[in-house]
Structure formats: structure tokens, C-alpha cells
Amino acid sequence: MSRLDVTEKIIATKVAKGLKWADVAAEIGLSKEWVTAGCLGQMTFNDEQAATLAKLFDLTETETQWLKVVPYKGSLPTSVPTDPLIYRFYELVSVYGTTFKELIHEEFGDGIMSAIDFKMDLQREANPAGDRVSIVMSGKFLPYKTY
């Protein structure tokens, strides 16, 4: 058994029970973004969180144990994603990648935006011309150390 098996069981159970990620997150008491990423095998849960998920998804003790182990991360089967929704994000990196770089360096100097000390919020943005997806990302700026 591995974390992947637990992830697959969570997804299958979610389909079978008709659960929603937002409700799962509410049970955990954290954002739907972080909780969903965790359920999809990208984050590590503590004892209490794992226990809550165990109930929601009918996990065995060993499966619950795996939720507390740091997973091998990376959720995509290919380096360039084939799924159209996920590809659009890859395309943003491809088209705007050098723009991100230029603007962050212009504002902060040499360094990066952390993908670890990072949070995000995804919301529906009502719009008469068609609703929009709004994503607010916030990552700590980490300057390159000189030594």
C-alpha cells in the first residue's frame, strides 16, 4: 500500500458518496485549497485532521496512517499536462513566465516567490459577460543569499 492507493480510495469514495471538497474542508477547518491538495496526495495531515478524513472516507487505520506521512509530491502524469483545464495554467507559465520573472525582480531584486510559504484562494467572480474564476495567490518573497 502507498499514499497513491489512499488518494485513489479518497477520490473513489468521494464519487460514491457524492461529497464536496468544500464540505470536506469545512470539517477539517482549513481552506478548501489546502485540504483538497492534501486529499489529492500533495500535503501532510496531522493526527486530528487524519482522523476526520478517516471518518469521511471510511479509511482503515493503515490508510489513515499514510495521510500523516509526507508524500512524494507532483500530481500530474506528464511534464506537460494534457488535461485542458490544467494545461491553461501551464500555458500561463509558458506565456507569462518571463513576465513574472521581470516584474518580481523589478520589485524585489534577485530571489523567488516561495511555493512552500504559499497560500491561495479560488473564488467565483460574478460577471454579466460570463462568470470568472478568481485566484488570489500569496507567496513569501525569498531573496537570494549572498555569502
Q: Report the nearest approach of its own copies to the CB of residue 3 (Å).
A: 9
Q: How far is the CB of 47 from its own copies (least distance, A)?
A: 12
The answer to whether 103 contacts its own copies (rule: CB under 8 A) is: yes
Q: Is 94 a catalytic residue?
A: no
Q: Are 57 and 15 in contact (CB under 8 A)?
A: no
Does the footprint of its own copies cover residue 133 (CB under 8 A)? Answer: yes
Please report whether residue 4 would count as binding its own copies according to CB under 8 A. Answer: no
Relative orientation angle of helices 21-28 and 47-57, to the nearest 10 degrees: 140
114 is catalytic: yes
> Is residue 126 a contact point for its own copies (CB under 8 A)?
no
Q: What values do phi and psi take at 96, rounded to 5?
A: -100, 0
